[in-house]
Amino acid sequence: MKDFGFTVQLDHSIDYDAKDKRMMRYVLYHEPSLDWCIGCGSCTATCSAGQFTLFNIRMAHTLLRRGETEKLKQELKKCMFCGKCQLTCPRGVNLRNVLLRINRAIELFG
Amino acid sequence: MINFNFFVLPFTLGLIYVFLAVGKSWYRWIAALPAIDKVKLTNGLKHPGKIAAALREIFLESLIHRKMWKQNPLLGYMHMSFALGWFLLIILGNIESRYYSGTHLNAPYYPIFLKFFIHDKLVLFFEVYSVPFLFRFFMDFLLIFILSGLVLAFLKRKQSKWFGMKKTTSHHFTDRVAITTLWLIFPMRLLAESYTAGYYGNGGGFMTQPLGNFLVSLTPLPSDFVAYTMWWCYSLVLGIFFVMLPYSRYMHIPTEILLIFFRHCGIQPKKWYSSFSETEVQSCSRCGVCLDDCPMIAAGIQDSQAVYFISGVRDRYVPEEISQKCLVCGRCQEVCPVGISTDSLRLIKRREITSGQASDFRYLTNGHSGKGDVVYFSGCMTHLTPTIILAMKGILTRAGIDFIHLDADGSVCCGRPLMIAGKDRQANELIEFNKTLIRQTQARMLVTSCPICYRVFREEYNLPIRIQHHSQFLLNLIKTGKIPLQGHFSKVAYHDPCDLGRGTKTYEAPRELIGKVADLVNVREEREKAHCCGGSLGMFEASNSQRNLMTKAALDILVENQPETIATSCPLCKKTLGRHASMAVKDIAELVYEAIPRE
């Protein structure tokens, strides 16, 4: 390809009508408390894995909502399951179960 | 002379069936044992001491029901009257039948229905100490003994509180059939023997004879016909009970015997579902003792306790929610009369659910860890309670110990949170990583502030160095005079963390340590009986409000004797209890640190 001195960004737009909502529905059905999330980011700030790599629970949540299964799969592998996120959550979201259920959803629908 | 009547058939066929069914199960379980356990079993069976110990336990637990007695005397008596009473009735009945038949080879039904076949002559006044009289006396006595247990069993349905139980288990259809027939067996025997004694005017004991005379005088029907019908009923209920036994909770009777032998031969629960697990599952009598002691009851969770979980495993269907809805605090294991390792069964099930989930910890690169005599691993949870880290560092510095804080810049998890979710394989990656880090420090001792880490360090890490929880380490420092103590707290209640207490049986060290810096007040349910704080990492399916209810229930017990401070030795307990307590909740490291005079 000819070098024009600039690159073309990949399309990041999400087609909400085409996305796979099964995982999100599965997780929300089994752990409805995820709906209480206000996106404050406490979980991400305290995350054990986040100390070593770019792991971000808030982002995982967003990926789940957007139905970006592939990215979510790669993200979730980094979780050490220590449970600090759940203890700091000001909304009392049952985060360890959310993570467990996303993993189950990946097995079922991924 | 052949003593036979067609009514013995239901009993005899039932007996043959139950022997075949139980024998088949025993054979299947022993054959399916892992090779190493088979070796243990054969070696154990060559060892007379082990067999004697197993037989002693079978006598104490399966017949006397010692643990049930400890739980509640009335409950113990009820179980003993059925088990020991029936056992002695069989033994004495057999001896009695040998006395009459004069042969060693009796048909199996003969002792059971002896009074139908033998109508001994009336015992005269001067013959009261004759052999037949003694037999009748003791057989009647044993029957009363069992019937008294039956009366208690009826009462237990109505007034379970008298038996120390708030809740009783709800049962399956097969269990209901089995319990109905079991309850009918002994009244039927009483009626059959009484009518026969009354009809023939002799052959009964001190209870059956007068009762028989009375019943015959009441009954308008020909009493030999009534007696014969009763014998039929007696045989039928016995037969039905025997046929239902392998499919009901009464399978625990033959299985527990095998389980006790397994245990005495040194066979232990595995990480996967082995036939040892199967014997444990089948040994569960569904008595429901685990229900009242479960901390989840405080949160209104009543469907996933050990008894229901095990019942699900037995029926080969456990909903995922039930497996995950448990604190894995180990309290049910402490009270279980059969000693079933409920936690390990739960984790086996969780492994089946989650072990396939992928993980990738390649981002962990071996960092630099310095060198020191003692390596201090605070743990993830302790990072959320920085006062504990501050206290520990202060104490260690004050004591002049050459230590290194391994996870000063954030912990790599010890692996237990993954294991408690059933992801052992994934946890091993973290364990290997941490092991390398610890090895690099060349320390001779590992101290941790977190009981969760402490337990997994001891159970899974196989480290060649000493591992101590900070309660043990600090106690040692005080005993050797490395740290001076000045201050003194008054009235401290100690909360046993599950993983430190029931998990590693460390009950004394924290108490002794608190004794050095404070006055310890008693807590009603402590040590093995301590309540989980509700924050357990083992729980997945409880909502935040349910957890709060569990925490409040644990706090209510802790504050009964009006302590001024609640002490614990687990950062997770501190954080959980601290949210709801009206007084200060402190880790024992903080207590010690505050008691050190400032320089």
Could you tell me if residue A13 is inside a domain? no
Specify whether B431 is located in the same domain as B575. no
Report which residue type is found at B471: S
Cross-chain Cβ contact A77/B575 below 8 Å: no
Contact status, residue B490 vs residue B461, Cβ threshold 8 Å: no
Between A7 and B592, whose confidence is greater? B592
pLDDT tier at B274, thresholds 50, 70, 90: very high
Could you tell me if residue B399 is inside a domain? yes
Note the pLDDT of residue B128.
62
Cross-chain Cβ contact B380/A83 below 8 Å: yes
Could you tell me if residue B70 is inside a domain? yes
Average pLDDT over residues A78-104: 93
The alpha carbon dihedral of A78, A83, A87, A93 has a sign of positive
Note the pLDDT of residue B458.
95
Encode pLDDT of B495-507 as tens digits.
999 999 999 999 9
Note the pLDDT of residue B221.
86
Neighbours of A17 (CB within 10 A): 5
Region at B474 (left for phi over 0; alpha for psi -120 to 50; beta for the rest): alpha
Which residues of B sit within 8 Å Cβ distance of A?
Answer: 320-321, 324, 353-354, 356-361, 363-364, 380-381, 383-384, 409-413, 417-418, 421, 423, 430, 535, 537, 540-545, 572, 575
Could you tell me if residue B344 is inside a domain? no
Q: State the residue range of the domain holding B578.
A: 484-595
Which CATH number goes with the domain that contains B581?
3.40.50
Q: Which of helix, strand or coil describes residue B587?
A: strand
Eight-state DSSP code of residue B598: P
CA-angle at B390, arms to B384 and B393, nearest 5°: 125
Inform me whether the pLDDT recorded for B125 exceeds 60.
no
* Of the residues B196, B218, B247, the one at which a domain ends: B247
Could you tell me if residue A92 is inside a domain? yes
* Of the residues B212, B227, B247, the one at which a domain ends: B247
Region at B534 (left for phi over 0; alpha for psi -120 to 50; beta for the rest): left
Specify whether B378 is located in the same domain as B504. no
Could you tell me if residue B50 is inside a domain? no
Which CATH number goes with the domain that contains A54?
1.10.1060.10
Count how many domains chain B has: 3
Cross-chain Cβ contact A94/B383 below 8 Å: no
Specify whether B443 is located in the same domain as B581. no
H or E segment at B90? helix B73-101
Average pLDDT over residues B17-38: 95
Encode pLDDT of A50-60 as tens digits.
989 998 899 99
Could you tell me if residue A2 is inside a domain? no
Could you tell me if residue B544 is inside a domain? yes
Between A33 and B358, whose confidence is greater? A33
Q: State the residue range of the domain holding A78.
A: 22-109
Cross-chain Cβ contact B324/A100 below 8 Å: yes
Encode pLDDT of B553-563 as tens digits.
999 999 999 99
pLDDT tier at B1, thresholds 50, 70, 90: very low
Contact status, residue A75 vs residue B356, Cβ threshold 8 Å: no
Partner residue opposite B359 with nearest CB, options A48, A52, A77: A77
Specify whether B532 is located in the same domain as B457. no
The alpha carbon of residue A27 is apart from the nearest alpha carbon of chain B, in Å, by: 12
Could you tell me if residue B293 is inside a domain? no
Between CA B184 and CA B244 the distance in angstroms is 14
Could you tell me if residue A3 is inside a domain? no
CB pairs under 8 A between A and B: 88
Cross-chain Cβ contact A87/B535 below 8 Å: yes
Specify whether B450 is located in the same domain as B507. no
Between CA B259 and CA B186 the distance in angstroms is 28
* Of the residues B447, B476, B505, the one at which a domain ends: B476
Could you tell me if residue B490 is inside a domain? yes
Note the pLDDT of residue B414.
94
B431 contacts in chain A (CB < 8 Å): none
| % of chain B exceeding 70 in pLDDT | 98
Could you tell me if residue B498 is inside a domain? yes
Between B356 and B368, whose confidence is greater? B356
Contact status, residue B565 vs residue B523, Cβ threshold 8 Å: no
The side-by-side arrangement of strands in the sheet containing B489-495 is B518-521, B489-495, B565-568, B584-587
Task: Dig out the tokens for A22 from the structure.
Answer: 């099964």
* Of the listed ranges B156-160, B463-467, B503-507, the one predicted with least confidence: B156-160
Encode pLDDT of B59-72 as tens digits.
999 999 999 998 88
Q: What backbone torsions phi and psi does residue A33 show, to the nearest 5 degrees?
A: -65, -15
Between CA B546 and CA B151 the distance in angstroms is 39
Specify whether B149 is located in the same domain as B237. yes
Average pLDDT over residues B176-196: 93
Between CA B599 and CA B576 the distance in angstroms is 33
Specify whether B431 is located in the same domain as B489. no
Neighbours of B358 (CB within 10 A): 14
- CA-CA-CA-CA torsion for B577, B579, B583, B589, nearest 10 degrees? 60
Whole-prediction pTM: 0.90
Between CA B272 and CA B456 the distance in angstroms is 18
Predicted complex ipTM: 0.89
Count how many domains chain A has: 1
User: Quick one: which of B396, B364, B363 has its CA closest to B377?
Assistant: B396
Specify whether B160 is located in the same domain as B22. yes
Report which residue type is found at B101: S
